[in-house]
Amino acid sequence: MQLRRFAFLASAAALVAVAGAAPAPAVIGGSVSGYGPWAVRMLVDGKPECTGTAISREWIISADHCFAEAAEPIADSRIEFRVGNLDQRLGTVVKPVPGSRDNHTLADIMLIKVTPMDITPAKLPTGGPVRPGETVRQLGWGATCPGDENSCQSDVLKQVDAEVIDPDDPRCDGMTVSGGTDFCALTTAGVTAGGDSGGPVMSTVDRDTLVGVTSKSDRSSLAADGDVFGQLEWIKKTIEG
């Protein structure tokens, strides 16, 4: 079996592809999204870093690894989010409520309380976890090119559809947290990349239902996502206080 290495998708992450294979421009792909009222762009020190999803007027869900730098937590004062527009340059700025972040130990997921947003939040899933064979939609403002991903962060929200594959599939090796409920998905028309971390993974049956949180990819055709349904009890307990 060919070994794969996977990279988290914060914008500063280096390109990591299938071991021994040269990256190709086509691995980013995807298409411009025309919908995503709940999508949120995360910036650190004013620079694009990750993506997130509003799940209420005061709570954003994103990837845990987006909030650390050199193994140290990033200060709330350095973080801001742009919300309410598919063009990240035009969104309204909101700030985290200091000391309000909460991460999950078995998934690459972070919850962040922010100042109230004038935004339509995504719905949490009610029908169970995603299943192999199901199609999901991954969205983000991340890199549109291989190589120096910081140099080609998208100004507009992009999307790519992916098929959830069986967690026992050998292609998923190294993609998920041991004992967690993450899932991996296979794409054919593009793949999430640096800057897409924490972004929404939506149902294609109900486009407003959040089923996952983007975590990492092989920059070729496989992506790993945190399963929202598997963390639903923790999410509700946190945001409902």
What is the tens place of the pLDDT at every residue in 166-212? 888 888 887 765 556 789 999 878 889 899 999 999 999 999 999 99
Dist CA 45 CA 77 (whole Å): 9
Only one residue has tokens 């192999």, namely 132
Classify domain 39-121+233-240 at the CATH topology level.
Thrombin, subunit H (2.40.10)
Cα of first residue to Cα of last residue in the chain, in angstroms, is 46
Residue intervals of the chain classified under CATH 2.40.10.10 are 7-33+124-229, 39-121+233-240
The pTM assigned to this predicted structure is: 0.88
Dist CA 16 CA 191 (whole Å): 12
What is the tens place of the pLDDT at every residue in 129-173? 999 999 999 999 999 988 889 899 999 999 999 999 988 888 888
Q: Could you tell me which CATH number the domain at 7-33+124-229 has?
A: 2.40.10.10
pLDDT band at 76 (very low <50, low <70, confident <90, very high): very high
Q: How far is CA 167 from CA 5, 58, 178, 179, in A?
A: 17, 33, 11, 12
Q: What is the pLDDT of residue 180?
A: 63
Q: How far is CA 59 from CA 47, 81, 208, in A?
A: 21, 11, 16
